[in-house]
């Protein structure tokens, strides 16, 4: 398959300004393309992965990606898809966010070879622009009626939009023109909510180059769909918040578990979106979902591929070890300290200061059982597990030998209620 045919198979083609023209261009030359990422936080999240992976697909097909960090536009705020004004961050905060996002993007693209990726920051050309230059040289190319007709602006007219966010479209358009002029960039990609901004950029290129030739023959816009689940909710959102690409914010184990719990109705679509598996491999996994859904082979493959891409092989092995210990009958005592910290991040915890303590007293102190009487009943009924092993001894003393690496004791009450005892004594 050609690149566009592969993208179509994967459901990644949402809108293209001129699909036939872009197809011809991709066949005829190495195309420089870009996608922008505004530093609105200190980490990208899993929703950004679709555009990152799409850049990567273009690169693997021989084209040159530019990953743009919006050091300038991040100071303004994109109204696209938002019902209210964003809270503006201080310049020093945006700079810090920009540097962190640059570091993340640099992990996902190849910077070697004749089509090596390049990181750019629009603060480099917007930050030094005067207000007069902006209004005279750029703003004069935008008609008010043209801007008001764009979805990102029109949807905010009733609730209100500031001139600051209203100007965002102009700044992003200028990014496309600047990269077109300085880097020979002929394609901008983005989520479907960026269509208005992308087409405005094409219009600006046409006007500022002064060329009467149809801009579609010179530059192109391409959007990919926003990722939603079968129930209509946004992909990447959980009760605990977003799934981040920063392992300090979302551990590799949490990342892995989020993916392995993908619904059967979504998993094949997500395999097409987020992996580089071939059509034959995906078709085989689709058959597995139909015929043996209980084995969850497709979910396991999705979690393996994406966890490896984002966090690496070692992190995948950790996530699998934690999952096996918690859900597959694995040995809890074989977990490393880091794996315990990841796997039991959100379970109730208790700090034990004594060198030794009776199990009954520990259950009450740690609020695992509400009373000594209930603690004894829990033990005698076989409901208490110490580091994965059932303990039915009511007079059991918990000492240093029960500690994993001298630091932790994992207690389970019943089938699913885990508690982490942190030992300091």
Q: Is 181 within any annotated ligand binding site?
A: no
Q: Is 237 within any annotated ligand binding site?
A: yes
Q: Is 172 within any annotated ligand binding site?
A: yes
Task: With beta carbons less than 8 A apart as the criterion, state whether 31 and 187 touch.
Answer: yes
Q: Is 168 within any annotated ligand binding site?
A: yes
β-partners of residue 390 are 385
Handedness of CA 274, 277, 282, 283 (dihedral sign): positive
The structure tokens listed for 356 are 């030794």
Strand-pair category, 64-69 with 32-37? parallel
Nearest CA to 179 out of 237, 217, 219 is that of: 219
Instruction: Give, to the nearest 10 degrees, the angle between helix 252-260 and helix 313-327.
Output: 70
Which residues are known to be catalytic?
40, 45, 48, 82, 86, 172, 193, 234, 237-238
Q: Other C-beta atoms within 10 Å of 210: how many?
A: 6
Residues in binding site for ATP: 237
Residues in binding site for L-tyrosine: 34, 168, 172
């Amino acid at each position: 398959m050609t690149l566009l045919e592969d993208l179509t198979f994967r459901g990644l083609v949402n809108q293209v300004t001129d699909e036939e023209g872009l197809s011809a261009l991709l066949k005829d030359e190495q195309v420089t393309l870009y996608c922008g990422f505004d530093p609105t936080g200190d980490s990208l999240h899993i929703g950004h992965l679709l555009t990152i992976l799409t850049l990567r697909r273009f690169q693997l097909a021989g084209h040159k990606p530019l990953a743009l960090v919006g050091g300038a536009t991040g100071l303004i705020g994109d109204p696209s898809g938002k019902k209210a004004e964003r809270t503006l961050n201080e310049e020093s905060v945006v700079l810090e966010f920009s540097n962190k996002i640059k570091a993340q993007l640099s992990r996902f693209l190849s910077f070697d070879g004749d089509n090596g990726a390049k990181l750019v920051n629009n603060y480099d050309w917007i930050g030094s622009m005067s207000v007069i230059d902006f209004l005279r040289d750029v703003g004069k190319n935008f008609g008010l009626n043209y801007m008001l007709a764009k979805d990102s602006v029109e949807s905010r007219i009733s609730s209100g939009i500031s001139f600051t966010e209203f100007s965002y479209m102009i700044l992003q358009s200028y990014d496309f023109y600047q990269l077109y002029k300085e880097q020979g960039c002929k394609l901008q990609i983005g989520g479907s909510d960026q269509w208005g901004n992308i087409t405005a950029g094409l219009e600006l290129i046409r006007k500022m180059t002064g060329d009467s030739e149809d801009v579609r023959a010179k530059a192109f816009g391409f959007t990919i769909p926003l990722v939603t689940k079968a129930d209509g909710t946004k992909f990447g959102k959980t009760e605990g918040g977003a799934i981040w690409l920063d392992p300090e914010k979302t551990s590799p184990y949490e990342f892995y578990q989020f993916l392995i719990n993908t619904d059967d109705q979504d998993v094949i679509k997500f395999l097409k979106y987020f992996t580089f598996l071939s059509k034959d491999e995906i078709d085989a996994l689709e058959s597995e979902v139909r015929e043996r859904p209980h084995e969850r082979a497709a979910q396991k493959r999705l979690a393996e591929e994406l966890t490896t891409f984002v966090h690496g092989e070692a992190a995948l092995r950790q996530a699998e070890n934690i999952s096996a210990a918690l859900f597959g009958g694995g040995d809890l005592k074989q977990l490393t300290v880091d794996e315990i910290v990841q796997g039991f991040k959100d379970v109730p915890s208790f700090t034990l200061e004594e060198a030794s303590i009776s199990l009954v007293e520990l259950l009450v102190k740690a609020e695992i059982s509400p009373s000594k009487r209930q603690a004894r009943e829990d033990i005698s009924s076989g409901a208490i597990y110490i580091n994965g092993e059932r303990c039915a001894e009511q007079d059991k003393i918990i000492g240093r030998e029960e500690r994993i690496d001298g630091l932790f004791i994992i207690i389970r009450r019943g089938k699913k209620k885990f508690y982490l005892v942190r030992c300091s004594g």
